[in-house]
Amino acid sequence: MVISLFCARVNVLLLLLALCSPCKFIQSPMDFGPLSFLQKTSTACVDFGRILFNSPSAVLRPQSSEDISLLLSFLSSSSFSRVTVAARGAGHSIHGQAQALDGIVIEMDALPSNIEIHKKGEGVVGVSYADVSGGALWIELLHESLKHGLAPRSWTDYLYLSVGGTLSIGGISGQTFKHGPQISNVLQLDVVTGKGKLVTCTPTKSPELFFAVLGGLGQFGIITRARILLQDAPEKVKWVRAFYDDFDTFTSDQELLISMPELVDYVEGFVVLNEQFLHGSSTAFPTHLDFTPEFHSNGSSNVYYCIEFAVHDDGSKNASTEEVVEEIARRMSHLPSHLYGAEVSYYDFLNRVRMEEMSLRSVGLWEVPHPWLNMFVPKSGIKAFRDLLLETISPDEFAGPILLYPLLRDKWDTNTSVVLPDAAGGAAEDERVLYIVGVLRSANPASCTAECLRDLLRLNRGIADAASAPGIGAKQYIPHHPSPSHWREHFGRRWERLAARKARFDPLGILAPGHGIFPRIS
Ligand code: FAD
């Protein structure tokens, strides 16, 4: 123990000496036992967005929370005044949020996953849960928990994201209307604060840190371990898609579906702009779609919509999944005969985006720039947002999905750091509903040059600015802003709380510099 602590200290010192040396890069991998680090900017400066490539001076591959604690304790109490630190989970950010220019990137996948499943009834009272490393991927947790017939309740669409990475932003998918975002399904966190303090926190023990870190964009501490709520996993689900040619009918059916949580387990939706989307989004959906819409007629472009919902085959309903889907479908108003269903394993359903990834990888279209924009839109502004979107994008040229589906405001804990749009003061039932819109564009470098990518980023900023104005009143999800004043505006009346939390847990502004919210204080 004493020896290992000594070795760890030696390595942190070496890391910091390396940062100070005229040649900042450590050229060859070094491994000193308990704490190993290496200069390897190839992944640490790249993310899924492929828009920014900020090189760190060094990369830390921690073997334990203590390694991270040691580094942050040292930085926060020494004269290494300009060094910043970013945790990097799976690096699926868009705008360099997990990068640290000339700082240190901590590669969280180096921490052992150590997934422990605790099943209710098997020596565990209350609820089933999993303890998992902050650097583990959700797909790893799914594999492990399914061995016990369990699974987390709340997901993201794509599972090759890290637990710490999605808990730092929210974590949403088609289950969010029912169970809340992933940050509403966490019982406990182990966090290393910006001061290097290792804290185990819960909603009642060090609650300020617990809630600050959830949706906290990595600003207050590094999540090294999380306790995630689990539920019984179904073996199969019925996965259904229905098509629409009218926006109001589409959204009112989505709202109908989320009003029936006793029957429906998952609800999402897409804007269908072109053939490419229909083809691309159907890679994993195992039923042939006999849907051949006319995207162009009489010189104008037509837009269609698709609802995707799922019903778990878990024995909790009083009828078979087939009967449940029939009952739901009877109440819906989709285009006649354009409802398609398929029975798939729960695992394949949750892992559906992996098939799309493989398909895009096979044609070289996965590792391309992704100028994405995600926005929370109040129900009162969703139609205006749809109009704004369709005025600014060109349907024929748009590559990638546009997701649009409803969430329920009261499934989000306002103590966390996520900012939802303010309620506009309408009827309570309407105010409860929010939409998430994900404009998930791919920019193929073969046809989109650097100038074209800049134009797309400007376009996104224009959409975000216009949608944030009072008429629509939207807020960015996984926000990206160009200046601290934009951040202040983003957080609005929650800014003071955010700044107070930062002053308490990371007063020198060491953590997560990639967002550009707070400066590093010397
Ligand atoms: P990174 O990109 O590595 O990090 C993101 C931020 O979190 C950085 O600021 C980083 O410093 C911080 N961070 C990382 N790990 C930790 C930690 N352990 N402790 C504290 N801070 C940390 N999001 C959804 O909500 N729903 C979806 O359905 C969804 N689908 C997606 C599909 C794809 C293909 C992609 C690329 C992204 C998707 N996202 C989705 C967005 C994704 O959830 C976020 O970008 C998330 O932050 C990525 O996790 P990551 O592990 O890659 O984080």
How far apart (Å, rounded) are the C-alpha atoms in residues 89 and 428? 38
In a domain, 504, yes or no: no
Instruction: State yes or no: pLDDT of 21 exceeds 70.
Output: no
Q: What pLDDT is attached to residue 27?
A: 32
The reply to whether 192 and 207 lie within a common domain is yes
DSSP string for residues in 32-88: -SSSEEE--HHHHT--TT-S--PPPSEEEE-SSHHHHHHHHHHHHTSS-TT--EEEE
Structural contact between residues 129 and 114, judged by C-beta atoms closer than 8 angstroms: no
The domain of 183 spans: 116-232
Residue 69 belongs to a domain with what CATH number?
3.30.43.10
The answer to the question of residue 506 being in a domain is no
DSSP per residue, 358-405: HHHHHTT-SSS---EEEEEEEGGGHHHHHHHHHHHS-TTT--S-EEEE
Segment 346-371 mean pLDDT: 96
Task: Decide which of 476, 494, 510 is a domain's last residue.
Answer: 476
Catalytic positions, please? 92, 157, 268
- For the stretch 68-85, pLDDT in tens is 999 999 999 876 678 999
pLDDT digits (tens, 9 = 90+) for 384-433: 999 999 999 988 889 999 999 999 999 999 999 999 998 877 777 778 99
Q: So what's the pLDDT on residue 208?
A: 98
Cβ of 478 below 6 Å from ligand 1: yes
Alpha helices in 201-310 (DSSP H): 207-213, 247-258, 275-280
Identify which of 522, 491, 493 has the alpha carbon closest to the alpha carbon of residue 219.
491
- Do 289 and 396 belong together in one domain? yes
How far, in Å, is the centroid of ligand 1 from the Cα of 156?
A: 10
Q: What is the mean pLDDT of residues 158-169?
A: 98
Note whether 334 and 382 are same-domain residues: yes
Residue 352 located in a structural domain: yes
**Other CB atoms within 10 Å distance of the CB of residue 303:** 19
Residue 316, pLDDT score:
82
| Binding site membership of 225 for ligand 1 (Cβ less than 6 Å) | no
The answer on 255 and 197 residing in a single domain is: no
Residue 1's pLDDT is what?
Answer: 35
* The pLDDT of residue 40 is above 70: no
Q: Is position 437 within any domain?
A: yes
Q: Are residues 45 and 186 in the same domain?
A: no
Is the per-residue pLDDT at 363 higher than 80? yes
Give per-residue pLDDT as tens, 113-143: 899 999 998 877 799 999 999 999 999 999 9
Q: What is the pLDDT of residue 255?
A: 98
Q: What interface predicted TM-score (ipTM) does this complex get?
A: 0.99
The total of structural domains in the chain comes to 3
pLDDT of residue 6: 43
Domain boundary among 109, 125, 149: 109
Are 283 and 413 found together in one domain?
yes
The candidate with the shortest Cα–Cα distance to 55, out of 25, 100, 107, is: 100
CB of 219 sitting under 6 A from ligand 1? no
- Same domain (yes/no): 208, 275: no
Question: Secondary structure of 101-157 in the HEC alphabet?
Answer: CCCEEEEHHHCCCCCEEECECCCECCCEEEEEECCCEHHHHHHHHHCCCEEECCCCC
In tens, the pLDDT along 280-328 reads 777 789 898 888 899 988 878 899 999 999 999 988 888 899 999 999 9
State yes or no: pLDDT of 279 exceeds 90. no
Among 441, 457, 476, the domain boundary falls at: 476
What mean pLDDT is predicted for residues 34-48? 66
pLDDT at 57 over 50: yes
3-state DSSP call for residue 342?
Answer: strand
- Cβ neighbors of 394 (< 8 A, separation 6 or more) are none
CATH number at residue 195: 3.30.465.10
Q: Is 72 in the same domain as 192? A: no
The model's confidence at residue 90, banded by pLDDT at 50, 70 and 90, is very high
Predicted local distance difference test score (pLDDT) of residue 28: 35
**Residue at 509 is within a domain:** no
- Specify if 490 maps to a domain: no
CA-nearest residue for atom 17, ligand 1, is 164
Q: What is the pLDDT confidence band of residue 467, given thresholds at 50, 70 and 90?
A: very high
Give yes or no: residues 300 and 221 share one domain.
no
Per-residue pLDDT for 102 more than 80? yes
Q: Whose C-alpha lies nearest to ligand 1, atom 37?
A: 92
Rounded CA-CA distance 434/134 in Å is 29
CATH code for the domain in which residue 255 is found? 3.40.462.10
Report how far residue 519's alpha carbon sits from residue 102's, in angstroms, rounded to the nearest whole number: 14
Lowest mean pLDDT among 42-46, 135-139, 145-149: 42-46
Q: Does a structural domain hold residue 486?
A: no
CB distance 468 to ligand 1 below 6 Å: no
Q: How far, in Å, from the CA of 362 to the mean position of ligand 1?
A: 24
Q: What is the rounded average pLDDT of the residues 19-32?
A: 38
Largest Cα separation within the chain, whole Å, is: 78
511 SS3 class: strand
Q: Is residue 386 part of a domain?
A: yes
Residue 123: the pLDDT is 78
Q: Are residues 175 and 311 in the same domain?
A: no
68 alpha carbon to ligand 1 midpoint, in Å? Answer: 19
Q: Which of 51, 59, 68, 156 to mutate to test the pocket of ligand 1 (most atoms within 8 A of CB)?
A: 156
Q: Could you tell me if 155 and 225 lie in one domain?
A: yes
Residue 49 near ligand 1, beta carbon < 6 Å: no
pLDDT score, position 177: 98
The CB of 86 under 6 Å from ligand 1? The reply is yes
Burial class of 256 by CB neighbour count within 10 A (0 to 12, 13 to 18, 19+): middle
The reported pLDDT for the residue numbered 298 is: 81
Residue from 148, 157, 302, 311 nearest 230 by CA: 148
pTM score, whole prediction: 0.94
| CA separation for the pair 287, 341 (Å, rounded) | 7
- 284 contacts 310 by C-beta, under 8 angstroms: no
Do 206 and 72 share a structural domain? no
Contact call for residues 189 and 213 (beta carbons, < 8 A): yes
Tokens standing for 457?
A: 């980023």
